[in-house]
């Protein structure tokens, strides 16, 4: 199962309820769960794991992992500061962005490797038309910037992020929607670099299945939905994708 863009926060109790119900229900039936970024509305650093809300969410994911579902986590633009301590707390494997994931281990009849491969990404790196955002992305993902930011007191980091979120919402209101979507050339370049696999990503909040041709190859780009009070996930059985959803159930 693949999910992204839950933007969990205490201010959105319906999303929280949907997530907890998902973890205790449908996700228990999955061999693996891939969380492709923006799980939280924001993440100020792994030293914020002791905050009651964050601890509750981490414990719920850990319970899923302990029950036998392999959990994989990729940071998004909202939770880019989630690191090794967070991954350990939730019992997850931390993925790079993008990540090539091979499912199964088998050969076809002529002896060539036929194990299916998916390319997973959060998706924000593909929105290259938004030049201001890409400049910001490069800045905040630089190791030196992150080290300096994480050296500040937690309260100061949270205050900075709160101000940043307000500026971000104001900036998005002034941008054309097309600028905040993926760039076709960026998608083609990524697929070319990784051997034309099926691409699964989130970030844009525009769930769809896109068929495209890159260098004469038929490719597929699957966009995950954001959560708006109910669970939404993409199920893959090794051959076909199925978008699925469930009603928010308060536990």
Instruction: Look up residue 130 and give its two tokens.
Output: 């938004």
> According to the annotation, is 168 in a ligand binding site?
yes
> According to the annotation, is 48 in a ligand binding site?
no
What is the rounded distance in angstroms from the CA atom of residue 64 to the CA atom of residue 66? 5
Radius of gyration of the chain (CA): 18
> According to the annotation, is 5 in a ligand binding site?
yes
> According to the annotation, is 206 in a ligand binding site?
no
What is the rounded distance in angstroms from the CA atom of residue 56 to the CA atom of residue 54? 5
> According to the annotation, is 7 in a ligand binding site?
yes
DSSP assignment string, 203-217: SS---EEEEEEETTE
Residue with tokens 């060539």: 112
> According to the annotation, is 210 in a ligand binding site?
no
> According to the annotation, is 203 in a ligand binding site?
yes
Closest Cα to residue 232, out of 217, 219, 242?
242
Instruction: Look up residue 217 and give its two tokens.
Output: 């190859």
What is the rounded distance in angstroms from the CA atom of residue 159 to the CA atom of residue 13? 22
> According to the annotation, is 201 in a ligand binding site?
no
> According to the annotation, is 230 in a ligand binding site?
no
What is the rounded distance in angstroms from the CA atom of residue 145 to the CA atom of residue 150? 9
> According to the annotation, is 239 in a ligand binding site?
no
Instruction: Look up residue 72 and give its two tokens.
Output: 């994989």
What 3-state class would DSSP assign to 3?
strand
Q: Which residues are annotated as a binding site for substrate?
A: 77-78, 130, 168, 172, 175, 203
Known binding-site residue numbers: 5, 7, 38, 77-78, 122, 130, 168, 172, 175, 203, 205
Residues in binding site for Mn(2+): 5, 7, 38, 77, 122, 203, 205
């Amino acid at each position: 199962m693949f999910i992204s863009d839950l933007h969990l926060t205490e201010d959105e109790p319906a999303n929280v309820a949907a997530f907890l119900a998902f973890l205790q229900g449908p996700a228990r039936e999955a061999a693996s769960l891939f969380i492709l970024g923006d799980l939280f509305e924001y993440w100020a650093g792994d030293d914020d794991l002791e905050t009651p809300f964050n601890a509750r969410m981490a414990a719920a994911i850990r319970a899923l992992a302990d029950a036998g579902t392999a959990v994989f986590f990729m940071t998004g633009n909202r939770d880019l500061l989630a690191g090794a301590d967070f991954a350990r707390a939730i019992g997850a494997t931390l993925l790079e962005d993008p990540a090539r994931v091979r499912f199964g281990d088998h050969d076809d009849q002529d002896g060539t490797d036929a194990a299916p491969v998916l390319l997973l990404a959060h998706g924000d790196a593909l929105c290259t038309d938004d030049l201001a955002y890409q400049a910001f992305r490069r800045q905040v993902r630089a190791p030196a910037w992150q080290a300096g930011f994480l050296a500040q007191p937690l309260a100061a980091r949270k205050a900075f992020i709160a101000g940043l979120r307000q500026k971000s919402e104001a900036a998005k209101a002034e941008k054309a929607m097309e600028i905040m979507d993926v760039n076709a050339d960026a998608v083609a370049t990524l697929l070319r670099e990784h051997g034309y696999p099926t691409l699964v990503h989130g970030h844009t909040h525009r769930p769809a299945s896109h068929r495209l041709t890159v260098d004469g190859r038929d490719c597929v780009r699957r966009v995950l939905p954001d959560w708006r009070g109910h669970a939404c996930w993409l199920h893959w059985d090794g051959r076909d994708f199925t978008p699925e959803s469930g009603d928010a159930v308060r536990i």
